[in-house]
């Protein structure tokens, strides 16, 4: 079904986090969501979100730049035009605007939400159809304090909310980080999956030493241990160790995935709709990985509910061997949706209903929107 875009509005929404969230490159105390409302013909409205981590400390697109790209370049390009689907929409955006995948992801999400509502089907149906209604979801322990992380992990295990955890390391000396990770793993028990995310903080020499110690200590997965540009290094590490490597910052599109897989990479790919340019674009990487025998993981940019649900609709259409980390809404003190997602038994439930299946609370949107 073709959709005619009439207008696009955009807000920056600042929501505090429940606790400081420490990564190798920054510590977050607030998350900024770039929210898009796409008004279409026949009164259909689609919503989208683009979210990054820590302003420009993580990547090349800040919330302010995302909003500017949408309002200055992409909205004038799309408004007044009719599109039959995401392929035509992506072609129009990519033909006139280079990069800016976060901004494009918010617009593709809003378009899918509008198209799903117009057709009366969920976004997952537009992406191939869901093969599951609930997806595994881990929690990231990232206070930076070993005892606090252990207490937090034990509490969440007792509540039955999560049974897999990711630890953010790389900001401190290797020996300190290894002690931190292994202490948490020992405290939470052998039945709990523990993974670590280095966020590119190690050089190759440090990575070899660190991965050996993490492998010996029973850690299940190591995410992006070295810089994104060192593809050959990632391939070498994946072949040298039994502990799998999760490529994250090193892959955004199916082209990146092909370069790693064809070079002999044997780990897993972290899918993120923002890096790829939208849910449909991220699935191009997923399908390429499936063909190459590379495992999948549903990654997050710590989005609110809107961006998280957009990702979940995409992830529900493929097999995620390593589950997902779509816990972003749980890290926020509040959100802009009428009803929160359901997290229980280490899983999150995909919303039903047309489009994304969520309702925006416009009062909260106005409350948190940056003036």
User: Which residue numbers are catalytic?
Assistant: 168, 325
Q: How many residues does the chain have?
A: 371
Look at phi and psi of residue 106 and say left if phi exceeds 0, alpha if psi is from -120 to 50, else beta: alpha
Cα R_g (the chain), whole angstroms: 20
Where is 196: in which H helix or E strand? Answer: strand 193-197
Distance, CA of 292 to CA of 30 (rounded, Å): 38
> What is the DSSP-derived secondary structure letter of residue 122?
B
Non-local (6+) Cβ contacts of 330 within 8 A are 18, 139, 343
Which 8-state DSSP code applies to residue 59? S
How far is Cα 281 from Cα 243, in angstroms, rounded to an integer? 29
The two structure tokens encoding residue 101: 């995948």
Alpha-carbon distances of 205 from 174, 211, 212, 264, rounded to whole Å: 11, 10, 11, 20
- Give a three-class secondary structure readout of 273-311: HHHHCCHHHHHHHHHHHHHHCCEEEECCCCCCHHHHHHH
Structure tokens belonging to residue 52? 């990054």
Q: How would you write 46-98 as a 3-class SS string?
A: EEEEEECCCCCCCCCCCHHHHHHHHHHHHHHHHCCCEECCHHHHHHHHHHHCC
CB contact at 8 A, 112 and 123: yes
Residue 170: other Cβ atoms inside 10 A: 21
Query: Are 261 and 281 in contact, with CB atoms under 8 Å apart?
Result: no
CA 19, CA 168: separation in Å to the nearest integer? 14
Q: What are phi and psi of 40, to 5 degrees?
A: -120, 175
């Amino acid at each position: 079904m073709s959709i005619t875009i009439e207008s696009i509005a955009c807000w920056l929404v600042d929501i505090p986090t429940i606790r400081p969230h420490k990564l190798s490159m920054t510590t977050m105390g607030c998350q900024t969501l770039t929210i898009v409302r796409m008004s279409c013909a026949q009164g259909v409205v689609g919503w989208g979100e683009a979210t990054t981590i820590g302003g420009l400390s993580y990547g090349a697109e800040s919330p302010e730049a995302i909003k500017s790209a949408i309002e200055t370049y992409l909205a004038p390009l799309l408004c007044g035009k009719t599109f039959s689907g995401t392929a035509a929409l992506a072609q129009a955006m990519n033909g006139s605007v280079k990069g800016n995948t976060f901004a494009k992801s918010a617009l593709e999400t809003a378009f899918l939400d509008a198209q799903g509502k117009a057709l009366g089907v969920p976004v997952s149906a537009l992406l191939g159809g869901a093969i599951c209604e609930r997806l595994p979801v881990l929690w990231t322990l990232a206070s930076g304090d070993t005892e606090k992380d252990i207490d937090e992990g034990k509490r969440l295990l007792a509540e039955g909310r999560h049974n897999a955890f990711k630890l953010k390391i790389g900001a401190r000396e290797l020996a300190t980080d290894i002690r931190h990770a292994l202490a948490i793993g020992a405290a939470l028990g052998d039945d709990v999956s523990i993974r670590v995310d280095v966020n590119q903080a190690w050089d190759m020499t440090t990575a070899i030493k660190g991965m050996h110690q993490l492998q010996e200590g029973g850690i299940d997965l190591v995410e992006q241990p070295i810089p994104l540009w060192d593809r050959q290094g990632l391939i070498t590490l994946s072949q040298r160790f039994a502990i799998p490597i999760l490529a994250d910052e090193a892959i955004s599109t199916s082209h990146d995935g092909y370069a790693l897989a064809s070079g002999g990479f044997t780990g897993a790919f972290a899918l993120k709709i923002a890096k790829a340019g939208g849910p449909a674009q991220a699935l191009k990487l997923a399908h390429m990985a499936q063909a190459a025998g590379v495992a999948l993981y549903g990654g997050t940019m710590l989005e609110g509910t809107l961006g998280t649900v957009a990702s979940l609709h995409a992830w529900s259409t493929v097999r995620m061997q390593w589950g997902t980390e779509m816990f972003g809404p749980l890290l926020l003190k509040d959100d802009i949706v009428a009803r929160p997602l359901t997290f229980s038994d280490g899983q999150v439930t995909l919303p039903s209903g047309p489009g994304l299946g969520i309702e925006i609370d416009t009062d909260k949107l106005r409350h948190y929107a940056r003036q």
